[in-house]
Structure 1
Amino acid sequence: MPKVGMKELREQQLIDATLESVAQYGLHNTTIVTISRLAGLSSGIISHYFGGKQGLVDATVKHLLSQLKIALLEKTHDKQLSPEQRLMVIIDANFSQTQRSVAATKTWLSFWAQSMHEPGLARLQHINNKRLYSNLLHSYRRILNNEAANIAAKQTAAMIDGCWLRSALSLRPEEEFVQAQALCKKFIKDLLVHSA
């Protein structure tokens, strides 16, 4: 009889190993063998829990999306935040350490490239884009009229994604992520000043 919680533990071990494998070898060269070796588990367990490599990759991306959501909820749940404060928290969540670690950045970059060819990953990317836009729009609508809020949400989402991407691809990512986070916050503050 399996121990209680063993399935969740094994699944998380495999997700962590997938992140590490993608960081070391890239998504294309990540295989069931590289993942199982890094996890210290048999390769058959991947098929058992996830149905194969693609199912595990999908679960890994869902894990990153979940971490992004948790980072936002931890800072907003049961707190009375002004719209501007909430916008700043959205920036912080998108540039949190879990989203800018080497393993996460390499997985996100691989995921974005592969999502153009893999319908399941494309769907997850659409969900991610929609969630970011919706969160931004919710805050902007409390300050701006509908049209201005829509434009501001789209601009801010593009700013976050663009700054994140440039930081991830830079020669000094950790330093660039810090600057990018500050730039995104400044963008929002300047936008709100000019909209007032």
Structure 2
Amino acid sequence: MPRPVMKTVRQQQLIDATLVSVARHGLHHTTINTISGLAGLSSGLISHYFGGKQGLIEATFKYLLDELKHALLSRILGKNLSPAERLSMIVESNFTELQRSTAATKTWLSFWSQAVHEPGLARLQHINNQRLYSNLAFSFKQLMAESDAVNCAKQTAAMIDGFWLRSALGSEPEQEFEEAQILCKAFIEAVIMQYGEN
């Protein structure tokens, strides 16, 4: 296997192992050894590819963010969607199978709590927040006055994040994630009916 391909494969193995380790042990008890053990790779590769545990943690967060972006792009690129349909796709991209998996939910929760203390994670979380808001605002602005669109985007972002969090912490996450998607879409429909020009 060519070296660049092998590097990419090994990096992804370490990111996948980090997700599993955080899910099993929590972020504070995830170590270079727990990650390398799960990946079946030398612990030295973590320093080689990521500069250490913190670099790998940030790379894992970036991976989840990239998966969010790709989930949305795969739903909207090359399709002639109405603004309302695009808003629906934004909801779906936040509730994909990966984003509601046990490994991802526990890792997101750990990242959010740690972002308060780690500038690198805080920066990534800010990017995530802004991306969700701007995607929502772009579609809402095509349906209503800009001031209303800004407020509706903020409310919808809070709705998506809030329902995702409640579902992740719920006693029956799978069912609650399904209900959360339905409720978020219903909220968007109600907002469009109230403020929409079309």
- Structure 1 length normalisation: TM-score? 0.98
The corresponding residue for 2:104 is 104
**Counterpart of 2:180?**
180
CA deviation string 1:17-47 (max 9, x = no partner):
0000001001010000000000000111100
Residue 3 of structure 1: how far off its partner (Å): 3.2
In structure 2, the partner of 1:21 is 21
Provide the residue aligned with 1:195 in structure 2.
195
Instruction: Name segments (4+ residues, structure 1) moved above 4 Å.
Output: none
Q: Which amino acid aligns with 1:30?
A: T
Listed one character per residue, the Cα deviations across residues 62-109 of structure 1 (whole Å, up to 9, x for unaligned) are 000000000000010011100000000000000111110000000000
CA distance in 2, matches of 1:2, 1:159: 45
Cα deviations by residue, 1:41-60 (Å, 9 ceiling, x for unpaired): 01111000000000000000
Between the aligned residues of both structures, percent identity stands at: 63
- Tell me the SS of whatever aligns to 1:97: coil
In the TM superposition, residue 195 of structure 1 has moved relative to its aligned partner by 1.5
Does the residue aligned with 2:99 lie in a helix, a strand or coil?
Answer: helix
Give the whole-Å Cα distance in 1 for the aligned partners of 2:24 and 2:174.
18
Change (3 A) 1:195 1:52: same
**DSSP 3-state at the match of 2:28:** helix
Structure 2 distance, partners of 1:50, 1:3, is: 16
In structure 1, distance between residues paired with 2:188 and 2:169: 23
Query: Counterpart of 1:184 in structure 2: which amino acid?
Result: C
**SS of the residue 1:28 aligns to:** coil
Aligned length: 196
Aligned twin of 2:64: 64
Alignment of 1:166 onto 2:166: yes
- Tell me the residue number matched to 1:143: 143
Shift of the 42–78 alpha-carbon distance from structure 1 to 2, 3 Å rule, reads: same
> Where in structure 2 are there 5+ consecutive unaligned residues?
none
TM score, norm. by length of structure 2: 0.97
Aligned mates of 1:176, 1:105 — CA distance in 2: 13
Q: Over residues 141-184 of structure 1, what are the superposed CA-to-partner deviations in whole Å (9 max), with x where a residue is unaligned? A: 00010100000000000000000000000111011000001000
Deviation at 1:4, TM superposition (A): 4.2
Matches of 1:2 and 1:155, distance apart in 2: 48
Cα RMSD (Å): 1.0
- In 1, Cα distance between the equivalents of 2:49 and 2:2? 14
Q: Secondary structure at the match of 2:3?
A: coil
Residue type of the alignment partner of 2:100: R
* Counterpart for residue 125 of structure 1: 125
